[in-house]
Amino acid sequence: MENTITGHTRLAALFATPIRHSVSPMIHNTAFQTLEIDAVYLAFEVGTDGLKQAIDSIKNLDMIGANLSMPNKILAVEYMDELSEAARLIGAVNTITNDHGKLTGHNTDGTGFMRSLQDIEVDIIGKKMTIIGAGGAATAIIVQAALDGVKEITVYNRKDDFYEKIKEKLAYISENTNCAITLNDLSDEHSLAKDVAESALLLNATGVGMKPLENQTPIQDFSIIRSDLAVCDVIYTPRETEFLKQARLRGAKTNNGLGMLLYQGAAAFEKWTGQEMPIEIVKPIIE
Ligand code: NAD
């Protein structure tokens, strides 16, 4: 292999744990090499204890920036000099940029999802969407959809200990955007059917459909799926969950979470380099 690392080469990094399974180093290093950008991307095993020091090193080593995974995404908020509007509303940072020592926290998970809709030629701006789940992935998507101009979002979550907290959080996001956002009990099938009937998109943002719940689906009554409804899943392993399969069999346009994964990385890359990630070269790495 040709050595292209020199005294000028700069570093971008992933601070996460566990980390060795991550595809991000392959995605970003392929993009750097393709565009002949003198930079490398490395994965560092960093937990919450070492996060502050790791983030300080972005300044100290004049790094390009970093990516974070959970739970570092939430903890990092307090270490940023600035936050993007999305990161502030979500309360989590997945991408850090370094502008001459000023660290800005961004969240590209939601933009990643919104861009993935272009792959199935679905436009939800000015329309209504229904989301199942209200955890980290869902919140990032809800905030970005609201900022991008989705008119109404109905969120369905199981009535667990977090339900009231989620309600407050969604009210806060709604107050700070032009989007009407409501939280509903996932067991209320009647309301779910009504909201899905008015929605352009139905999204599963829970882990229901992947291991160890790979045989389960987040909804039970698939008669609510229309052929002109877009149905998406944040899950990408398996590539087609039972939820997506049932939706596809009813003629809906479907999309798994691979696009969200790819495009959140592309958005980070573009913030770091000012260049577009070469999607057609990077995409086969994760497919
Ligand atoms: P989280 O723990 O923050 O939230 C999980 C959500 O799922 C909660 O709303 C919870 O109430 C709900 N949930 C969990 N089990 C459930 C069940 N049995 N029935 C009904 N609801 C249930 O997790 P997260 O970080 O938001 O991740 C959710 C999923 O999104 C995971 O499958 C993860 O792999 C995926 N994800 C994908 C991407 C991507 O780029 N495609 C990015 C982040 C997360």
Our answer on whether the CB atom of 97 is closer than 6 Å to any ligand 1 atom is no
What tokens were used for 16? Answer: 């996460």
Q: Known catalytic residue: 194?
A: no
pLDDT of 225? 98
Distance 206 CA to ligand 1 centre (A): 3
Quickly list H helices, the chain: 24-34, 51-60, 72-75, 85-90, 109-116, 136-148, 163-175, 189-198, 242-249, 258-273, 279-286
CA distance 201 to 146: 14
Count other Cβ atoms within 10 Å, centred on residue 13.
Answer: 25
Q: Hey, whose CA ends up nearest to atom 1 of ligand 1?
A: 135
- Beta strand 128-132 with 102-106 is unpaired
Among 208, 234, 242, 260, residue to substitute to test ligand 1 (most atoms within 8 Å of Cβ): 234
Our answer on whether the CB atom of 134 is closer than 6 Å to any ligand 1 atom is yes
- 10 Å CB burial of residue 191 (0-12, 13-18, 19+) is middle
Choose the catalytic residue: 73, 167, 245, 283: 73
pLDDT of 2? 74
CA distance 144 to 137: 11
pLDDT of 8? 96
What tokens were used for 53? Answer: 């020091």
Give the residues across from 44 on adjacent strands.
15
Structure letter (DSSP) for residue 74: H
Q: Hey, whose CA ends up nearest to atom 44 of ligand 1?
A: 137
pLDDT of 50? 97
pLDDT of 1? 64
In tens digits, the chain (287 residues) has pLDDT values of 678 899 999 999 999 999 999 999 999 999 999 999 999 999 999 999 999 999 999 999 999 999 999 999 999 999 999 999 999 999 999 999 999 999 999 999 999 999 999 999 999 999 999 999 999 999 999 999 999 999 999 999 999 999 999 999 999 999 999 999 999 999 999 999 999 999 999 999 999 999 999 999 999 999 999 999 999 999 999 999 999 999 999 999 999 999 999 999 999 999 999 999 999 999 999 98
pTM of this structure: 0.97
